[in-house]
Amino acid sequence: MTDATPPGADTAAFIAAARSDDTAQFALITERHRRELQVHCYRMLANYEDAQDMTQETFLRAWNKRASFKGHASPRTWLYRIATNTCLDFLEKRNDRTPVPADLPDAGSEVSYLQPYPDRMLPEDPQESLVARETIELAFIVAVQHLPPRQRAVFILRDVLGWPASKVAGALELTVASVTSALQRARVTMREQLPGRRLDWRSPATHELSQDERGVVKSYIDAHERNDLDGLTALLRDDLRFVMLPERGTLTVTAKDAVDGWVSGGLFQRGRDDWRCIATTVNRMPAAVLYLRTPGDPEYRLFNIAVLRIVDGKIAELTGFDATDKPWLDLPATL
C-alpha cells in the first residue's frame, strides 16, 4: 500500500467518520487493525499485557487526534505511527525496563518482563499483517529488546514491516540519514543476538509446526508424564538454553545438568511427580502445558507452560512461564 495514491474508500470513510465525530464508524474502521497493531506493540515491548494496554491507548490517541488525519497516508499507516510513538512514550517512562546491554552474557535473562503471545490473537491473514513466524518467536522478541527504544522502532518499521526510510523518518520525526544509521546499528546487534538465524524478516516463511517439532513435543510430554528422566535428557541438546520467567537467569547447560537441576529443584519428587500435559503453540512455537496433581487432590491443576525451540530433532531452548497468572492464554485451569 502506497501513500501517494488518491484516498481509497477506506481512507474516505475514515475521514468522514473523523470529521462527523461518528464514534461508532471510527471505532469500526480502527478496530479491524487491532490485532496487527497489538503484535507491533508486543514486538516493541515483549509483554502481552503492556501490548494490549498500548494498543488501546493508540485507539484513544487516534480518536483525540482525528482532526489531524488529512488522508496523506493510509489509516493503517497513521495508526502504526501513533502505536509506535505510544510505545516509545511508554518505554521512556518505564525506566525499570531499560534496554538490555548487548554485551551482557546470557542477556535474555534480564528480559524478566517477557510474556508469551497467544497464537489465537495473531492476525488471521499473515500475508496482510506481516506476522512471519521468525518475527514473533521468543528469540526474536528477546533480541529486539537489546536495541535502544528508538533504534528498535526503526528496525521493526524498516526490516519487519518493510517501510521505506523516508516513511520511517516521518513517523519518528528523524532524518533519513538518522534512520539509515540507526538501522545499520540495529542489524549488527540482531546478528550478534541471533547468530546463524535467518535474518531476512520480510521474505515468506512457514507458519506451521513441522512433523519433527510435533514429534519432539509428543515425546517431551510422554517423558514428563512418565517421569522418564533419561527420556527427557535424550530430548535436550547439550547446549540447551533454559530460562524460567519471571525469575531471572538464562542458563546454557548440558542436558543432564538441566534435568538434575529440575530434580534438585523439587520436580519429579514425591508429591510433585504426577503430571499431565497438553500440547499447544504460543508465539508460533511448540509448547507443552504442564498440569500437576498433588496428593489428595482429584484434579490436575495448571502449573507451567514450556515453550520449546527445536533444532534437528532436539530441544535447543526451553523457556518456562508460570501459566497460572496469564488468563489471556485461555488454558483450562484443571484437567
Which structural domains are found in the chain, ordered by start? Answer: 9-193 (no CATH), 211-329 (3.10.450.50)
Cis preceding-peptide flag for 246 (omega within 30 of 0) = yes
Largest CA-CA distance found in the chain, in angstroms, rounded: 69
Lowest mean pLDDT among 11-25, 52-66, 103-117: 103-117
State the pLDDT at residue 267: 85
Which residue type, as a one-letter code, is found at position 57? E
Q: 3-state DSSP: the chain helix, strand, coil percent, rounded to 5?
A: 50, 15, 35
CA distance 108 to 125: 30
C-alpha span between 240 and 55 (Å, rounded): 35
The pLDDT score that the predictor gives to residue 109 is: 45
Do the beta carbons of residue 230 and residue 260 sit within 8 Å? no
Torsion of CA 241, 247, 248, 249, to 10 degrees: -30
Concatenated DSSP letters for 196-250? TS---TTS----SPPHHHHHHHHHHHHHHHTT-HHHHHHHEEEEEEEEEESS---
Among 129-143, 155-169, 268-282, 314-328, the least confident range: 129-143
> Which three cell numbers mark 275?
503430571
pLDDT for residue 232 = 95
> Could you tell me the pTM of the whole model?
0.90
C-alpha cell at 220: 517431551
pLDDT tens digit string along 246-282? Answer: 765 567 788 999 899 888 888 888 888 899 999 999 9
Q: What is the arithmetic mean of pLDDT over 5-23?
A: 76
DSSP 68-124: G--SSS-HHHHHHHHHHHHHHHHHHH-GGGPPPPTTSTTGGGG-TT----BGGGS-S
Residues 194, 215: contact at Cβ < 8 Å? no
Q: In Å, how far are 179, 190, 227, 287 from 266, measured between CA atoms?
A: 50, 36, 13, 22
